[in-house]
Chains A and B, each alone.
Chain A
Amino acid sequence: MITIVKSIGQLIIEQITHLGMAIRLAIYDTRANNAHKYLGNLWEILDPLFQVLTYAVIFGGGFRAAAPVENIPYFVWMSVGFSAWYLVNQGFSDTIRSIQTQIFMVRNVRFPVSILPTIRVLQVFPAVLSITVVAAISMILKNQFHPSLYWLQIFYYLPAALVMLFFLGIFSATINILIPDYDLAIRQVLRLLFFVSGILFQPEKGNVFNTFIFYISRINPFYYIVNGWRETFLVNSWFWDSPLQMAMFWLEIALFAVIGTHLYLKFKDQLIDYI
């Protein structure tokens, strides 16, 4: 037990001590990826903005979905949730192949492989920031921009999201090398998860199917983050008011942390044998 907690702690410390290097590599990798495009780094922002626009047109315009909270326009409600969703979804799916694609670059170099998933998460930040700016502008335009003490909760939800992404990432990146099908399988799951994580509409009890989705959302860590974002900026309620969901979220993180760290420590020196 103690060794497990210690190893997990060491892994986190490794991230913190190498944060500077991770940020430099993240910036550089993003720049290098876009260097050959005419619009360059602009794509980092354009891509998420077009996504949010698409959903706004289809669900806000076409299906005339309404926000589940009174007095809040749909686009405001959706875009705030979407910024959180983009962070957890894109961050997570980018980490899956992080070790696999870069292990050839880092061999022969004394380099902590565990920061490769972290780099991928950091690379999502510009996109998340751009959606956040769009959400903020829509809030101002619709007269929903009311900064309050609740907003400080972002200092709980953002670290929570990052911790989740890191442990999910280290777990996924390792397992994806052992089981190459993992990447594709998770993509199918994420596609479905998008619609049951309360990004476009709130899961509510109803018929059997809706009730099932509702209960799934209670234990869905992605929903916890997306919902947390909205509670912070729009609905204004405190995170300690839903202690059971909070407990569930952190237990799930603990589960991934234990299994992920175990797999990583077990396989980190022999990953290249499996590629």
Chain B
Amino acid sequence: MTKSDQDIMVQAEAITKNFQLYANQTEKLKSTFLGNQSETNFWALRGLSFEVKRGEVIGIVGTNGSGKSTLLNILSGVIPQTSGKLKLNGSIGVVAINEGLNWELTGRENIRIKQLMMGKSNKEITAVMPSIIDFAELGEFIDQPVKDYSNGMRAKLGFSIVTHNNPDILIIDEALSVGDSNFSKKALGKIREFIAENKTIFFVSHDLDQVREFTTKVMWVQYGEMRAFGPTQAVADEYQKFTQDLDKLDEANRDKYVEKQKQGQQIFTLEQLQDRLVQQGKNFDQARNLTAIRSFEGFSAISLYSTLIIIFGLMAIVIYFYLTKGQQP
């Protein structure tokens, strides 16, 4: 392995995500057990490929509904991709609004339960607890249920918990936009610390100035496709120009444009992606491998059914013995 290979923290190849839209529950159930039966597909991601190295700070931009959140969810393992390969090299922490907090429990309890789930012992948790509470700046509210918190307070708590876990890859999903400027400053300071420690960070924000300030590279995702991925300056300018152009359009034209793009997301197929990959210089087998739908296999059908038949057979034998011998209870 060369040095540059080791430094690759995230490697994604032809990631797609399909949301199947069902007319009713019955249709959904059928698809669960028989494979995709849905007539309406929505491709939130249409074949994203990228590599991120250690120490890079990636800004992800795109208009609403462009697939940013879906991409982050796949990166953090919340949802599985439909096809494509994703390789992560290190632990992941996600800061998002309400991320993984239990609303019925108090802030302090949430901190503890989150840490327990990371496999820490009670002693270790008690040791880091003051520092987490201190950073979250919740004051008296730390012992109130999270449902009584404001959005900003939840973001603070989530940010404090996640950053204290010291992840190798940090994902920040618009969480900083809800806090007040005081907390933003503190959080950004923490992020600078992470950057100084050469950690990899994904940063989603609608605030283009923040993106320009922090990131080294920008990934522009639009309607499920990667429009550009490169140095911050160039891509941010390009994106800014795009949004300004979109703003200039009158409402009817803009709706028409968006509608057309969304339609593209419905008629997209994996075969199209396969052709595109071949055009990009992959050989046919590689392309087919990359576009194979990620399967979730339990046991193979033969071994499953044969085992079940054996078990039922043995049950029948037991019942037979019971009935013929008339064994006393």
Binding site for B on A (CB under 8 A): 1, 3-4, 7, 21, 24-25, 28-29, 32, 35-36, 104-111, 178-179, 214, 218-219, 242, 244, 247-248, 251-252, 254-255, 258-259, 261-267, 269-270, 272-274
Residues 1-41 of chain B: 1 if any A CB is under 8 Å from the residue's CB, otherwise 0?
00000000000000000000000000001001000000000
Chain B: interface residue total (CB-CB under 8 A):
49
- Chain B proximity of A203: nearest CB distance (Å): 9
Q: How far is the CA of A253 from the CA of B100 in the complex (A)?
A: 34
Q: Please, could you name 17 A-B residue pairs with CB atoms under 8 Å apart, sorted by A?
A: A4-B303, A7-B299, A24-B116, A29-B113, A32-B109, A35-B105, A105-B114, A105-B117, A107-B100, A108-B93, A244-B318, A244-B325, A248-B319, A254-B311, A263-B298, A265-B299, A269-B80
B113 neighbours in A (Cβ, 8 Å): 25, 28-29, 32, 105
Give the residue among A108, A109, A251, A264 with the most B Cβ atoms within 10 A: A108
Q: B321: CB under 8 A from chain A? A: yes
Known contacts A35-B106, A244-B327, A254-B311; is A273 also within 8 Å of B80 by CB? yes
What residue in chain B is nearest A2 (Cβ atoms)?
B303
What residue in chain A is nearest B20 (Cβ atoms)?
A273
Q: Quick one: which of B76, B118, B299, B312 contacts A3, CB cutoff 8 A?
A: B299
Q: B280: CB under 8 A from chain A? A: no
**CB–CB B304/A258 < 8 A:** yes
Residues 90-132 of chain B: 1 if any A CB is under 8 Å from the residue's CB, otherwise 0?
0111100001101011100100111011110110000000000
- Chain B proximity of A267: nearest CB distance (Å): 6
Q: How far is the CA of A32 from the CA of B114 in the complex (A)?
A: 13
Q: Quick one: which of B78, B80, B296, B318 contacts A266, CB cutoff 8 A?
A: B296
**CB–CB A270/B296 < 8 A:** yes
**CB–CB A266/B297 < 8 A:** yes
Known contacts A247-B314, A265-B298, A274-B32; is A1 also within 8 Å of B100 by CB? no
**CB–CB A255/B308 < 8 A:** yes
Q: How far is the CA of A254 from the CA of B77 in the complex (A)?
A: 31
Q: Quick one: which of A21, A105, A106, A110 contacts B91, CB cutoff 8 A?
A: A110
Give the residue among B99, B121, B304 with the most A Cβ atoms within 10 A: B304
- Chain B proximity of A272: nearest CB distance (Å): 6
What residue in chain B is nearest A268 (Cβ atoms)?
B296
Q: B283: CB under 8 A from chain A? A: no
Known contacts A28-B116, A109-B117; is A273 also within 8 Å of B315 by CB? no
Residues 296-329 of chain B: 1 if any A CB is under 8 Å from the residue's CB, otherwise 0?
1111100110111001101100110110010101
What residue in chain A is nearest B297 (Cβ atoms)?
A266
What residue in chain B is nearest A36 (Cβ atoms)?
B145
A219 neighbours in B (Cβ, 8 Å): 319
B77 neighbours in A (Cβ, 8 Å): 107-108
What residue in chain A is nearest B92 (Cβ atoms)?
A108
B29 neighbours in A (Cβ, 8 Å): 178-179
Q: How far is the CA of A218 from the CA of B96 in the complex (A)?
A: 53
**CB–CB A24/B318 < 8 A:** no
B92 neighbours in A (Cβ, 8 Å): 108
Known contacts A28-B116, A269-B296; is A251 also within 8 Å of B105 by CB? no
A4 neighbours in B (Cβ, 8 Å): 299, 303-304, 307
Known contacts A3-B299, A258-B304, A262-B298; is A247 also within 8 Å of B117 by CB? no
Q: How far is the CA of A272 from the CA of B117 in the complex (A)?
A: 18
- Chain A proximity of B138: nearest CB distance (Å): 17
Pairs A-B, 7 closest by C-beta atoms: A266-B298, A262-B298, A265-B298, A107-B78, A32-B109, A108-B94, A247-B318
Q: B79: CB under 8 A from chain A? A: yes
- Chain B proximity of A88: nearest CB distance (Å): 19
Q: How far is the CA of A106 from the CA of B118 in the complex (A)?
A: 9
What residue in chain B is nearest A274 (Cβ atoms)?
B32
Q: How far is the CA of A261 from the CA of B298 in the complex (A)?
A: 8
- Chain A proximity of B291: nearest CB distance (Å): 18
**CB–CB B100/A105 < 8 A:** yes
A110 neighbours in B (Cβ, 8 Å): 91
Residues 58-102 of chain B: 1 if any A CB is under 8 Å from the residue's CB, otherwise 0?
000000000000000000111110000000000111100001101
A259 neighbours in B (Cβ, 8 Å): 308
Q: How far is the CA of A98 from the CA of B122 in the complex (A)?
A: 23
Q: How far is the CA of A176 from the CA of B93 in the complex (A)?
A: 29
Give the residue among B91, B117, B304, B321 with the most A Cβ atoms within 10 A: B117
Q: How far is the CA of A274 from the CA of B116 in the complex (A)?
A: 26
Q: How far is the CA of A65 from the CA of B121 in the complex (A)?
A: 50
Supplied contacts A28-B116, A247-B318, A258-B311, 14 more A-B pairs, CB within 8 Å: A1-B307, A21-B117, A25-B113, A28-B109, A105-B102, A105-B114, A106-B100, A108-B94, A178-B29, A218-B329, A248-B319, A252-B315, A255-B312, A261-B298
Give residues of chain B (213-227) contacting chain A, Cβ–Cβ below 8 Å: none
- Chain B proximity of A151: nearest CB distance (Å): 22
Q: How far is the CA of A252 from the CA of B319 in the complex (A)?
A: 13
Q: Quick one: which of B105, B307, B318 contacts A32, CB cutoff 8 A?
A: B105
A265 neighbours in B (Cβ, 8 Å): 296-299
What residue in chain B is nearest A217 (Cβ atoms)?
B329
A111 neighbours in B (Cβ, 8 Å): 117-118
- Chain B proximity of A266: nearest CB distance (Å): 4
Q: How far is the CA of A21 from the CA of B114 in the complex (A)?
A: 12
- Chain A proximity of B314: nearest CB distance (Å): 5
Q: How far is the CA of A1 from the CA of B302 in the complex (A)?
A: 9
